Chain A
Amino acid sequence: MSTTYDPADPYAGSRETTEGRVYTVTGGDWDVTLGADPHGEERLVVNMGPQHPSTHGVLRLVLDLEGETVTKARVVIGYLHTGIEKNTEYRNWVQGTTFVTRMDYLAPLFNEAGYCLAVEKLLGIEAPPRAQTIRVLVMELNRIASHLVALATFGMEMGALTGMTNGFRERELVLDLLEEITGLRMNHAYIRPGGLAQDLPEGAVEHIREFLEFFPKRVADFHRLLTGQPIWQRRLKDVGYLDVTGCVALGVTGPILRAAGLPWDLRKVEPYLGYQTYDFEVPTADTCDAWGRYLVRMSEVNESLRIIEQALDRLEPGPVMVEDKKIAWPAQLSLGPDGMGNSHQHVAHIMGQSMEALIHHFKLVTEGFRVPAGQVYVPVESPRGELGYHVVSDGSTRPWRVHVRDPSFVNLQATAAMSEGGMIADVIAAIASIDPVMGGVDR
């Protein structure tokens, strides 16, 4: 029962039996296998992640290396899949906000805004002007926070640890503001279908103005710390190259596309929430590399500061939720002795004064409102690119389907195009410049 070495198939010897040809894989053919591979001595397959400090989250890379050159890069995702899209189908329309805000956890307010704009489009309603302005305000604050994390993790992954500590430190300033406005640092559920959960608290406008006073200096510090630094420049320049053609073919949007020279920003080209009335620039670069993406993000922080200032200037008193009582959440939130909750007047009203108000509250809170059947696709410009909500309603109190076109998910596809043929160290720079958020990628 000797097996014969078959030159046509170096992986397994074979022999004829009464049952037909039987192959025997022995494992002893390692030398033969490697000998047949011209790069045998050099070729190395490296698994990187999913738990790795430089992969920007629970991202797994499978890299084919020849020496230090990457010949193939494959991305494995799904480690953070939590079934958020499916979950929204079992909750009412208002509850959906609390789910989508947890997808891209660095840009929660963009998720909420995109989702609520889609629901509002299905309902055929529009949030009141004050709510729209506050939405713009909190989204731009969120954009700054998100870009600061992008810069901080960029620094960490490139070995510039001071960049990381500085980035997270400045981000905390923004999160303090968001906490003051929404009650939470992340996962706010602040933007609701029809408006906002609550108005700006007292003192918030002053605190944002103070922030606008000193924050440009912090941005300048960042430039002093990193932009002029020769190591930083050499690590980033000409790394992770992707031009406009490549970006569009791979569906890449956001700072990556703008760093390739195309000023494609949905706030400008398909304005929503009145962005056409704000005066701001769309920063671009023409380098198509990680360096350009870094500079674009830095400039976008400054543009966001400009938008926030304008939003503060045009804040007029008014309602922050639609007037339609069949959609608007019946109570405003307020701070009580046991924390944030339905306002005391509202509870007193429904419990002591009006049976109809109680029924109305009960119906709206337990059952929720119905949304006319149909489907919409609403894109917003998140810090990472086009965040699209494809929402389908069958006319009931729950979404029939919510699909999220998350920019991180799409942009991450460019990893192979950006890093194949380059050095392994540049893979890290390329992925850091994509700035994927795995919560959004895996949903």
Chain B
Amino acid sequence: MSNDGGAVVPGREEAGYDDATAPAGGFRKGAFGVSGSGDTSGFGGLVRVEPGGAVALHSTDRPYGGWFDEVTDALVDAVGEGTYAAAVQRVLVDRGEITYFVAREHLLTLVRALRDDEALRFELCSSVSGVDYLDSGGPAVAPGRPRLHVVYHLTSMTYRRRIRLEVAVSAEDPHVPSVTAVYPTADWHERETYDMFGVVFDGHPALTRILMPDDWDGFPQRKDYPLGGVPVEYHDATIPPPDTRRAYR
């Protein structure tokens, strides 16, 4: 998953990238990612493919190495092969961490097994958070790809292991079952994810805003929600707010 910008192609269409099969997540224009600056370097027309983009779409093949196989086998045993195949869309091992991409219909079956099975024992739900992949691997680069990901970090205190579950949903149908019945700690995490990303956790006891005011409009951490801010005037210059400054991406 190196991203040294080595894969420079003349253009997305000419390169023959098909959104359905391409591993690419995001595309960047120009050698320096600058837009609207009157770039005369000649590199402005380049389109660089970001391998994987922010959301890597490839998956890792067995064996995963280390205890990852042990956990996966135990999980298959716990929920049954059919359910596992239906529930886990792909598995990614990267930087010593394992991620299971889970279909939302089977999320609760999986987390119950992960918490209760003797060979798994993921007692602690460390964190639930959201990520919006709008224009890096999401619908802006490949229509139909879900943009909102809910990421669960589970910890096994018994075996001292950590795994990550990821559920992807679209902004039009942002429903994910709540895991509060299995992990009561997910209560506030899910409220925060709802507050910031608008993911609706079905079955949550009281899904209300938690950090933003109750009557707030919109979901602030979505990528199409502006950061906001006002220009700051100095003695002889004006500094625009951070999200409108010229930036290198």
Contact = CB atoms under 8 A, between A and B. Distances in A.
B76 to A, nearest CB: 23
Nearest to B160: A269
B31 to A, nearest CB: 12
B210 A373 contact: no
Contact of A400 (B54, B184, B188, B213): B54
A398 B249 contact: yes
B171 to A, nearest CB: 16
Contacts of B51: 373, 395
Contacts of B124: 248, 251, 253
Contact of A87 (B50, B183, B192, B227): B227
Interface string B181-204: 001111111001000100000000
Interface stretch (B11-19, B35-43, B126-134): B126-134
B97 interface: yes
A344 to B, nearest CB: 26
Nearest to B228: A83
B221 interface: yes
B91 interface: no
B234 interface: no
Which of A379, A390, A398 neighbours the largest number of chain B CB atoms within 10 Å of its CB?
A: A390
A393 B54 contact: yes
Contacts of A373: 1, 3, 25, 50-54, 56
Contacts of B52: 373-374, 395
A413 B188 CA distance: 7
Interface in A65-122: 77-78, 81, 83, 85-87, 89-91, 121-122
Contact of B153 (A83, A87, A90, A377): A377
A442 interface: yes
Interface in B228-249: 242-243, 247-249
Contacts of A436: none
Nearest to A371: B3
B124 to A, nearest CB: 6
Contacts of A270: 160
B123 interface: yes
Contacts of B242: 87, 90-91
A81 B212 contact: yes
Interface string A238-272: 00000000001111110000000010100001100
Contact of B3 (A372, A386, A403, A409): A372
Contacts of B127: 377, 388, 390, 403, 405
Interface in A358-377: 366-368, 370, 372-377
Nearest to B242: A90
Given A366-B248, A377-B162, A400-B131, A251 B185 contact: yes
A78 B97 contact: no
B123 to A, nearest CB: 5
A394 interface: yes
A270 B160 CA distance: 8
A59 interface: no
Interface string B75-93: 0000000000000000000
Given A377-B127, A390-B129, A395-B3, A250 B95 contact: no
Given A251-B185, A372-B3, A386 B126 contact: yes
B104 interface: no
B227 A395 contact: no
A405 B153 contact: yes
A262 B124 CA distance: 13
B178 interface: no
A370 B5 CA distance: 10
B33 interface: yes
A405 B95 contact: no
A396 B33 contact: yes
B168 interface: no
Nearest to A394: B54
A410 B97 contact: no
A250 B184 CA distance: 6
Contact of B94 (A87, A252, A374, A403): A374
A392 B2 CA distance: 14
A390 B185 contact: no
A367 B26 contact: no
Contact of B185 (A249, A264, A398): A249
A409 B220 contact: no
A388 B227 CA distance: 24
B226 to A, nearest CB: 10
A89 B188 CA distance: 23
Contacts of B183: 249, 251
Given A78-B211, A401-B131, A410-B188, A124 B160 contact: no
A126 B243 CA distance: 31
A231 to B, nearest CB: 34
Given A78-B210, A376-B97, A395-B26, 18 more contacts: A78-B212, A86-B227, A89-B227, A250-B184, A269-B157, A375-B97, A375-B99, A375-B164, A376-B95, A377-B162, A377-B164, A390-B127, A392-B131, A395-B50, A395-B53, A396-B249, A397-B249, A401-B129
20 contacts: A83-B227, A87-B227, A90-B247, A251-B184, A372-B1, A372-B3, A373-B25, A373-B50, A373-B53, A375-B99, A377-B127, A377-B164, A390-B151, A392-B131, A396-B28, A397-B247, A397-B249, A401-B132, A403-B129, A405-B127
Among all A-B residue pairs, the 10 with the closest Cβ atoms: A251-B185, A394-B54, A395-B3, A405-B127, A403-B129, A367-B248, A394-B136, A78-B211, A90-B242, A81-B211
Interface of B: 1-3, 5, 25-26, 28, 32-33, 50-54, 56, 94-95, 97, 99, 123-127, 129-132, 136-137, 151, 153, 157, 160, 162, 164, 183-189, 192, 196, 209-213, 220-221, 227, 242-243, 247-249
